[in-house]
Amino acid sequence: MLLILSAPDDPITHLLAARWAHHASQIVTGDSLACAGWDYVPGRATQARVALPHACVDASAITAVLTRISHVFPEHLSQIAEEDCDYVAQEMTAFLTAWLDELPCPVLNRPRPGNLSGPSWPQARWRQLAASLGHHVSRARLDAPAAHPLGFPAHAQVWPTAVVAGSAVFGSVAPPLRMAALALARRAGVALLGVFFDAHGADAGLVGVTTTPDVHEPEVTDAVLALLLARAP
């Protein structure tokens, strides 16, 4: 069973779930966590119980997890009283961080505190890391949400993008930029990474990254699925 942890309105998630239906893919949102059936003892992740829309299952039945959100967001909790949404969203995020961190199956990307889909670094740190690897860094910046100092970018970007999925790199940027994206992902220890550049050519500068890249192109979807399946126990 593949779990896709997502915002409820993420069209890419629904597309992936349809393409991966024969792998028993299941979408988990914040609302999925607001119902009886979740049990987790820290240190025993595979013995956890998971409440899915039509059944509760053992976590041992989960073969892989794709995470497409950095946090559970309050606005994604349709069943919670408005005044409680901030608190509940943070509690759900904290629970998922601990559980996904120790789940032994493939988790793309493994959470870190502060980001369910990878390192919780500000964009500046990603650019510093790229520069330390010898890559040209653009003076252009991603527009960061004002409310979040770590500046996770929105998905819809106009920048030329390389998407790293394991050792494969996709996107219409020049090969040196693909190599730069791959090197950055490897140094950061993430299997899935979107890297934005300010142009397509080899001398383009790196603008920023996302740990929840757009993976809707069929070849990218297939590469992500291969990663999820290949490393499954």
SS3 89: helix
- CA 159/CA 20 separation, integer angstroms: 28
Taking residue 41's Cβ as centre, other Cβ atoms within 10 Å add up to: 9
Q: Do residues 208 and 194 lie in contact, with contact meaning Cβ atoms separated by under 8 Å?
A: no
Q: Specify the pairing of strand 161-165 against strand 192-197.
A: antiparallel
Residue 122 touching another protein (CB under 8 A): yes
Residue 134 touching another protein (CB under 8 A): no
Before 109, cis peptide (omega within 30)? yes
**Angle formed at CA 99 by CA 96 and CA 100, multiple of 5 degrees:** 80
Q: What six digits make up the tokens of 132? A: 């330390």
Residue 88 touching another protein (CB under 8 A): yes
Residue type, position 154, single letter: A
Residue 82: CB minimum distance to another protein, A? 13
Single out the segment in contact with another protein by CB under 8 A; choices: 18-26, 76-84, 174-182, 187-195.
Answer: 76-84
Which sign, positive or negative, has the C-alpha torsion 209, 212, 218, 224? positive
Interface pick for another protein out of 24, 52, 144, 183 (rule CB under 8 A): 144
Q: How many residues bind another protein (CB under 8 A)?
A: 52
Residue 137 touching another protein (CB under 8 A): yes
Q: What six digits make up the tokens of 215? A: 């993976």
Residue 95 touching another protein (CB under 8 A): yes
Closer residue to another protein (CB): 39 or 219: 39
Interface pick for another protein out of 47, 78, 90, 167 (rule CB under 8 A): 90
Residues numbered 14-43 forming contacts with another protein, rule: CB under 8 A: 33-43
Residue 49 touching another protein (CB under 8 A): yes
Contact residues: another protein, CB under 8 A: 33-43, 49, 51, 79-80, 84, 87-88, 90-95, 97-99, 101-102, 112-115, 119-125, 127-128, 131, 137, 139, 144, 146-151
